[in-house]
Protein backbone atom coordinates (compact mmCIF):
# COMPACT_ATOMS: atom_id res chain seq x y z
CA UNK A 1 0.00 0.00 0.00
CA UNK A 2 1.42 3.38 -0.99
CA UNK A 3 1.26 6.07 1.64
CA UNK A 4 1.44 9.58 0.21
CA UNK A 5 2.48 12.65 2.15
CA UNK A 6 2.46 16.19 0.76
CA UNK A 7 4.82 18.68 2.41
CA UNK A 8 3.62 22.27 1.97
CA UNK A 9 5.98 25.11 2.81
CA UNK A 10 4.96 28.75 3.16
CA UNK A 11 6.60 32.13 2.61
CA UNK A 12 10.32 32.76 3.03
CA UNK A 13 11.14 29.10 3.63
CA UNK A 14 12.84 29.12 0.21
CA UNK A 15 15.45 31.28 1.96
CA UNK A 16 16.35 28.73 4.62
CA UNK A 17 20.10 28.32 4.98
CA UNK A 18 20.76 32.05 4.95
CA UNK A 19 17.57 33.35 6.58
CA UNK A 20 18.17 34.05 10.32
CA UNK A 21 20.29 30.88 10.74
CA UNK A 22 20.41 31.43 14.50
CA UNK A 23 16.63 30.85 14.54
CA UNK A 24 16.05 28.46 11.62
CA UNK A 25 19.38 26.64 11.26
CA UNK A 26 21.76 26.34 8.31
CA UNK A 27 20.02 23.65 6.29
CA UNK A 28 18.38 24.76 3.06
CA UNK A 29 14.86 23.66 2.13
CA UNK A 30 16.46 21.37 -0.49
CA UNK A 31 18.60 19.78 2.26
CA UNK A 32 15.45 19.18 4.31
CA UNK A 33 13.63 17.73 1.28
CA UNK A 34 16.52 15.29 0.68
CA UNK A 35 16.49 14.29 4.35
CA UNK A 36 12.74 13.57 4.14
CA UNK A 37 13.09 11.55 0.93
CA UNK A 38 15.84 9.45 2.52
CA UNK A 39 13.47 8.26 5.26
CA UNK A 40 11.62 6.30 2.58
CA UNK A 41 8.40 5.56 4.45
CA UNK A 42 6.06 7.39 2.07
CA UNK A 43 5.66 8.73 -1.44
CA UNK A 44 6.69 12.39 -0.97
CA UNK A 45 5.50 15.54 -2.72
CA UNK A 46 7.41 18.60 -1.52
CA UNK A 47 6.22 22.12 -2.35
CA UNK A 48 6.89 25.72 -1.38
CA UNK A 49 5.21 29.00 -2.25
CA UNK A 50 5.32 32.57 -1.07
CA UNK A 51 1.75 33.06 -2.29
CA UNK A 52 -1.15 32.35 0.08
CA UNK A 53 -3.62 31.20 -2.61
CA UNK A 54 -1.09 28.74 -4.02
CA UNK A 55 -0.79 27.16 -0.59
CA UNK A 56 -4.59 26.79 -0.56
CA UNK A 57 -4.35 25.03 -3.95
CA UNK A 58 -1.61 22.73 -2.62
CA UNK A 59 -3.88 21.73 0.30
CA UNK A 60 -6.74 20.92 -2.10
CA UNK A 61 -4.37 18.93 -4.35
CA UNK A 62 -3.13 16.86 -1.40
CA UNK A 63 -6.69 16.02 -0.41
CA UNK A 64 -7.64 15.13 -4.00
CA UNK A 65 -4.66 12.73 -4.03
CA UNK A 66 -5.69 11.18 -0.69
CA UNK A 67 -2.35 12.28 0.77
CA UNK A 68 -1.65 13.35 4.34
CA UNK A 69 -0.51 16.95 4.71
CA UNK A 70 2.54 18.18 6.60
CA UNK A 71 2.46 21.96 6.48
CA UNK A 72 4.83 24.65 7.65
CA UNK A 73 2.63 27.68 6.94
CA UNK A 74 5.42 30.03 8.09
CA UNK A 75 4.11 33.58 8.66
CA UNK A 76 0.65 32.64 7.36
CA UNK A 77 0.32 30.49 10.48
CA UNK A 78 -0.52 33.61 12.38
CA UNK A 79 -2.74 35.43 9.87
CA UNK A 80 -4.43 33.13 7.39
CA UNK A 81 -8.13 32.40 7.64
CA UNK A 82 -7.81 31.01 4.08
CA UNK A 83 -5.36 28.31 5.19
CA UNK A 84 -7.49 27.55 8.25
CA UNK A 85 -10.57 27.13 6.04
CA UNK A 86 -8.67 25.07 3.43
CA UNK A 87 -7.40 22.64 6.07
CA UNK A 88 -10.91 22.37 7.52
CA UNK A 89 -12.34 21.69 4.08
CA UNK A 90 -10.31 18.50 3.53
CA UNK A 91 -10.71 15.03 4.95
CA UNK A 92 -7.07 13.90 5.19
CA UNK A 93 -4.77 13.92 8.25
CA UNK A 94 -2.76 17.11 8.62
CA UNK A 95 0.26 18.02 10.73
CA UNK A 96 1.40 21.60 11.35
CA UNK A 97 5.15 21.90 11.78
CA UNK A 98 7.59 24.67 12.69
CA UNK A 99 11.37 24.74 12.86
CA UNK A 100 11.31 27.18 15.77
CA UNK A 101 9.07 27.17 18.82
CA UNK A 102 6.67 30.06 18.15
CA UNK A 103 5.26 29.85 21.70
CA UNK A 104 8.65 31.10 22.98
CA UNK A 105 8.88 33.98 20.50
CA UNK A 106 7.16 37.31 19.83
CA UNK A 107 3.55 37.67 20.97
CA UNK A 108 2.29 37.84 17.37
CA UNK A 109 3.66 34.33 16.76
CA UNK A 110 1.94 32.82 19.76
CA UNK A 111 -1.41 32.39 18.03
CA UNK A 112 -1.80 29.86 15.25
CA UNK A 113 -4.95 30.04 13.14
CA UNK A 114 -3.82 26.78 11.54
CA UNK A 115 -3.57 24.81 14.80
CA UNK A 116 -7.35 24.92 15.13
CA UNK A 117 -7.73 23.13 11.79
CA UNK A 118 -5.03 20.40 11.82
CA UNK A 119 -4.77 17.02 13.48
CA UNK A 120 -1.74 18.08 15.53
CA UNK A 121 1.32 20.32 15.76
CA UNK A 122 5.08 19.71 16.06
CA UNK A 123 7.41 22.64 16.67
CA UNK A 124 10.78 23.63 18.02
CA UNK A 125 12.95 20.75 16.79
CA UNK A 126 14.62 22.51 13.86
CA UNK A 127 14.81 20.39 10.70
CA UNK A 128 13.87 17.37 12.86
CA UNK A 129 10.33 18.83 13.03
CA UNK A 130 10.00 17.75 9.38
CA UNK A 131 11.04 14.17 10.17
CA UNK A 132 8.72 14.03 13.18
CA UNK A 133 5.95 15.47 10.99
CA UNK A 134 6.53 12.70 8.44
CA UNK A 135 6.36 10.00 11.13
CA UNK A 136 3.14 11.50 12.51
CA UNK A 137 1.57 11.72 9.05
CA UNK A 138 2.50 8.12 8.15
CA UNK A 139 1.11 6.85 11.46
CA UNK A 140 -2.12 8.78 10.92
CA UNK A 141 -2.50 7.35 7.40
CA UNK A 142 -1.85 3.81 8.66
CA UNK A 143 -4.44 4.22 11.42
CA UNK A 144 -7.02 5.32 8.83
CA UNK A 145 -6.30 2.38 6.55
CA UNK A 146 -6.93 -0.22 9.23
C1 LIG B 1 8.12 29.28 11.27
C2 LIG B 1 7.68 30.19 12.42
C3 LIG B 1 6.86 31.35 11.91
O4 LIG B 1 6.48 32.21 12.99
C5 LIG B 1 7.69 32.18 10.92
O6 LIG B 1 6.90 33.22 10.38
C7 LIG B 1 8.32 31.36 9.87
C8 LIG B 1 8.87 30.05 10.20
C9 LIG B 1 9.04 28.13 11.74
O10 LIG B 1 9.19 27.17 11.01
O11 LIG B 1 9.62 28.23 12.83
O12 LIG B 1 8.47 31.80 8.73
O13 LIG B 1 6.96 28.68 10.70
What pLDDT was estimated at residue 120?
98
Out of 72, 111, 112, 133, give the residue to mutate to test ligand 1, the one with the largest number of ligand atoms within 8 Å of its CB: 72
The question of whether 24 is a catalytic residue gets the answer yes
pTM over 0.85: yes
Atom of ligand 1 nearest to the CA of 109: 4
pLDDT tens column, 52-103: 999 999 999 999 999 999 999 999 999 999 999 999 999 999 999 999 999 9
Atom of ligand 1 nearest to the CA of 23: 11
d(CA 120, CA 26): 26
Backbone angles phi and psi of 75, in degrees to 5 = -60, -25
Q: CATH number of the domain that 73 lies in?
A: 3.40.50.9100
Dist. CA 74 → ligand 1 center (Å): 4
What is the domain extent for residue 74?
4-145
Length, in residues, of the chain: 146
The number of folded domains in the chain is: 1
Question: In the predicted model, is pLDDT for residue 146 greater than 70?
Answer: no
Amino acid sequence: MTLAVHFINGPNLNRLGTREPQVYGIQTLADIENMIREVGTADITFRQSNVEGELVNFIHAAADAGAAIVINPAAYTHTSVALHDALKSVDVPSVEIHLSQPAKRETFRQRSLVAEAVTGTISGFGAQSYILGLHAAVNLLKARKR
